[in-house]
Amino acid sequence: MLIKIKQGWEIPESRATPESVFHNRRDLLKAMGMGSLLAVGSGAAPALAAAATADPDPSAGLYPVKRNETYTLDRPITDEKLSTTYNNFYEYSDDKDLADAAQQLKIRPWTLAIDGMVEKPMTIGIDDLLKQMPLEERLYRHRCVEAWSMAVPWSGFPLKAFVAMAKPLSGAKYLQMTTFQDPKMAPGQKSFFYPWPYIEGLTMEEATNDLAFLVTGMYGHPVPRQDGAPLRLVTPWKYGFKSIKSIVKFSFTDKRPVSFWQKLQSSEYGFWANVNPEVPHPRWSQATERVLGTGERKPTLMWNGYGEHVAHLYDGIKGERLFT
């Protein structure tokens, strides 16, 4: 068998991911015959079988929901077929083409834990939560740190409505969110290379900003597994990796969370990760973005175009890496 190790300059733009350094390392391990140590990916056949048998989503009857017209786009909505087949979800693959593999994700029963600095820790089932929360649709731009973008009609509810229900104590400064961990239904988690589970965090001011949105649907349907069913975050003024998928735990804390990507590569990924076209990633520019499905490159907007809603959150913060 011929194994070709890709050189950095041979990696096409679509693979200029935050993780391309790690791809190179993986390729090297594979070439050394140590690929089994990595144990990523289940292969296409089992994934397709899982797709055929995935249970239907019991929340389907809730959608479509009424659009909140406050949030408007400067570009067409990305084709649903594209945004649901070009994904980042490392629990399933480090390639974009993971929608079939993600059908292994079992989305019921699905229980959320709320713990840490709250009046009373609790758990709540996703369907009980859906009954209580004010569902609406919002059109948001979605900008990955890899410099591609989409425009998506998400359905869900403001994170601040969830925070109000959770009743955090006044000393809570951050909200830490955690993805499920179960290598049996997420083969990517068999890789010891990544610091599972996926974790993300926001300050309480960010979490209670109007824009922060918990997503349970998209394009008028329940959110598909590959996009983070049954519940994922969307913070459109930040790079996409902040938008943690398939959340199982919300922890209120006075300690700043250290996220998955930060643990892996803190020289490139930090806590804030706000979109700024003038601050390049260490390995590429953030000045423009590839608008998926259009063949077009557009200048990237400061705060991804959401400055009127969020710029003030950062007024008092000096000397921190707000944009990486």
Ligand X SMILES: Nc1nc2c(c(=O)[nH]1)N[C@H]1C(S)=C(S)[C@@H](COP(=O)(O)O)O[C@H]1N2
Applying CB under 6 A, which residues contact ligand X? 87-91, 142, 144, 179, 198, 227-228, 240-241, 243-246
Minimum CB separation of residue 90 from ligand X in Å reads 4
Task: Report the residue number whose CB is nearest to ligand X.
Answer: 240
Nearer of residues 117 and 155 to ligand X, judged by Cβ: 155
Write out the two tokens for 297.
């490159």
Minimum CB separation of residue 157 from ligand X in Å reads 17
Nearer of residues 86 and 157 to ligand X, judged by Cβ: 86
Residue 86 near residue 292 (C-beta atoms within 8 A): yes
Residues of this chain that interact with Mo ion (CB under 5 A) are 88, 144, 240-241
Residue 124 near residue 250 (C-beta atoms within 8 A): no
Nearer of residues 87 and 203 to ligand X, judged by Cβ: 87
Per DSSP, 56 falls in state P
Nearer of residues 117 and 139 to ligand X, judged by Cβ: 139
Binds 227: which of Mo ion, ligand X, none (CB < 5-8 Å by kind) = ligand X
Minimum CB separation of residue 120 from ligand X in Å reads 27
Residue 112 near residue 190 (C-beta atoms within 8 A): no
Nearer of residues 138 and 245 to ligand X, judged by Cβ: 245
Minimum CB separation of residue 215 from ligand X in Å reads 9
**DSSP string across 69-123:** TT---SSPPPPHHHHTTS--BTTTBSSS--TTGGGG---SS-EEEEEESBSS-EE
CB neighbourhood size of 15 (10 A):
15
Pairing of strands 247-253, 232-234: unpaired
Residue count of the chain, please give it: 324
What is the SS3 assignment for 26? Answer: helix
Nearer of residues 116 and 228 to Mo ion, judged by Cβ: 228
Minimum CB separation of residue 316 from ligand X in Å reads 28
Binds 188: which of Mo ion, ligand X, none (CB < 5-8 Å by kind) = none
Binds 206: which of Mo ion, ligand X, none (CB < 5-8 Å by kind) = none
Residue 206 near residue 313 (C-beta atoms within 8 A): yes
